[in-house]
Amino acid sequence: MDYKKAYEEWLNNPGFDEATKAELRAIAEDDKEIRERFYTDLEFGTAGLRGIIGAGTNRMNEYVVRKATQGLANYIIGLNGQGKGVAIAYDSRHMSPEFADFAALCLAANGIKAYVFESLRPTPELSFTVRRLNCIAGINITASHNPPEYNGYKVYWEDGAQITPPHDTGIMAEVKKITDYSSTKTMKKEAAQAAGLYQVIGAEIDDAFIAELKSQVLHLDAIKEQQKNLKIVYTPLHGTGNVPARRVLKELGFENVYVVKEQELPDGDFPTVSYPNPEAAEAFELGLKLAQEVDADLVLATDPDADRLGVRVKDKDGVYHDLTGNMSGCLLADYEIGQRKALKGLPADGMLIKTIVTTNMADAIAKYYGVGLIEVLTGFKYIGQQILGFEQTGKGSYLFGFEESYGCLIGTHARDKDAIVATMALCEAAAYYKSQGKTLWDAMVELYERYGYYKDDIKAVSLKGIEGLQKIQEIMETLRKDTPKEFCGYRVLSARDYKKDVIRDIASGEEKPTGLPSSNVLYYDLSDDAWLCVRPSGTEPKVKFYFGVKGTSLEDADQKSAAFGEQVLAMINGML
């Protein structure tokens, strides 16, 4: 069906409500807008759904949510798993509570019990809840750090991680089978509750989740020593982190936690930022202002669904430094593994897990402590998959896992990034180092001195709409067909094509498999410990160029990285 026919179908089908039709009639003269809304179905991919809220097949709305949920329900029933139930959480975005209920009532109409949180909750708590309630799956209504006009729908499986093969492809296939939106099932909430198919959850799960976080603390002694001295500024960026982050810090004894008032309360408009991303400098403007007023040791920001954490730390001269996701991840990895070794010893099969676009400093940390290193595809679900493998085989002990996109997991209570536990752990680490007369910045500098001056960055270009998606594919295919001999003055030593499952040594021509699932990703190992990775974003209309260099000092690494970044942008512009 072409986009105009799909548009007319939505206008004339009695299965669509009047508000939806009114929204569509308002764009009757805008062919480009009609095309964008109806040229395709919003794709249910390996990360679920994510798109702009509005009427149409290529938008987030109740019909698209119900279609996705019906597909999930059909898959669950096909596995005879309908007796176990599905946990549902949602964030502070527009339509999040409504989408959660649309999903819950579709499940209930299919005879599958839905456990729905009473109010917004962070992503890691949803992951925790799936396992806590012995559910077959979980649904999280969130678009993470996307702009305000977006929302999304993530599916988790019974291990608490986002869906991976074979479940992702199985669910996607069931969703694609549904061509008639009116064929999806639903029922009234009152009837679902009366039938025991819709249960509201809240405080009991919260208490268990916070208890799990607190069990990960290594140096309660340091917290008690510094609880009156350490000053922490925190912002939830209008999202879900406010209550759990403040609660866990308070219960551990931190007395000086200052919350950015302008960003404290949930607000789907995210009025203080252009988009609520803790990777962006603007997200810290208000937090840094407050930090300077109270002379805070560190500033922490969680994204709306509280799975990513942004960090600023103060040095002894009062200057605040930005810690990238790679930097904060390495700081926490070294602290968690190093202190566990000192206090308890490390298991012989201990493992540090990172994604392929994460800094090579992680490799150096693993080598220093004599633990194994596992590299997985981009996406924290693959780290969760490794934890499940450890449990199923009895081989491998999870120590720490992180990815460059500001996400890590301490402990195995969840199987997704957890910015609440990361907030707790960074404050603990700050107290520990402060008890030794050090700042977190001192600790970061010590890592560079011990492991090497690694500098990692990312450049991305947004290419929206149909033409944008085509251009992204053209960039990938151009690089795939003709491997460059060098990037930015660094020789290409080997090229990995994860779509073709091949690693090719440039000098010898020898090829071997990547050993990882198929993914549209290209990776280049370069001379002088440098690297470059190219991949389309799984959640935004972007193509991303990740890269890393190693310098002889912080200044040298910064200069090399800046030069590399400029040449990457020049290369991208040359392809557009």
DSSP state of 485: S
Helices (H), 241-379: 242-252, 285-294, 325-343, 361-369
Q: What is the DSSP string of 487-530?
A: ETTEEEEEEEETTTTEEEETTT--EE---S---S-EEEEESTT-
What gap in Å lies between CA 117 and CA 563, rounded to an integer?
Answer: 48
**The two structure tokens encoding residue 200:** 């509201």
Handedness of CA 252, 256, 261, 262 (dihedral sign): negative
d(CA 557, CA 60) in angstroms, rounded, equals 43
CB 178 within 8 A of CB 71: yes
Task: Give me the amino acid identity at 381.
Answer: K
The answer for 427, left when phi > 0, alpha when psi is -120 to 50, beta otherwise, is alpha
Neighbours of 312 (CB within 10 A): 21
- C-alpha separations of 381 from 309, 410, 489 in Å: 17, 15, 35
> Which residues pair with residue 127 across a beta bridge?
none
Q: 303: closest CA among 417, 460, 444, 156? A: 417
The DSSP symbol for 337 reads: H
The DSSP annotation for 375-413 comes to EE-SSHHHHHHHHHHHHHHS--EEEEEEETTTEEE-SSS
* Cβ neighbours, 10 Å, residue 502: 13
Closest-CA residue to 362 (of 409, 328, 411)? 328
Give me 231's structure tokens. Answer: 């000053």
Secondary structure of 118-164 as H, E, C letters: CCCCCHHHHHHHHHHCCCCEEEEECCCCCCCCEEEEEEEECCCCECC
Q: In sequence order, what are the residues at sequence separation of 6 or more whose Cβ sits closer than 8 angstroms to the Cβ of residue 78?
A: 170, 174
215 tagged catalytic: no
Cα distances (Å, whole numbers) of residue 37 to 6, 270, 465, 542: 10, 24, 10, 19
Element holding 22 (H helix, E strand): helix 18-25
Catalytic residue among 92, 96, 144, 405: 144
Give every CB contact of residue 491 below 8 A, 6+ residues apart in sequence: 485, 506, 526, 527
- In the chain, the largest separation of any two C-alpha atoms, in whole Å, equals 71
Closest of 573, 322, 284, 366 to residue 457, by C-alpha: 322
64-75 burial, b at 16+ Cβ within 10 Å, e below that, comes to: bbbbbbbbbbbb
Task: Kindly list the catalytic residues.
Answer: 144
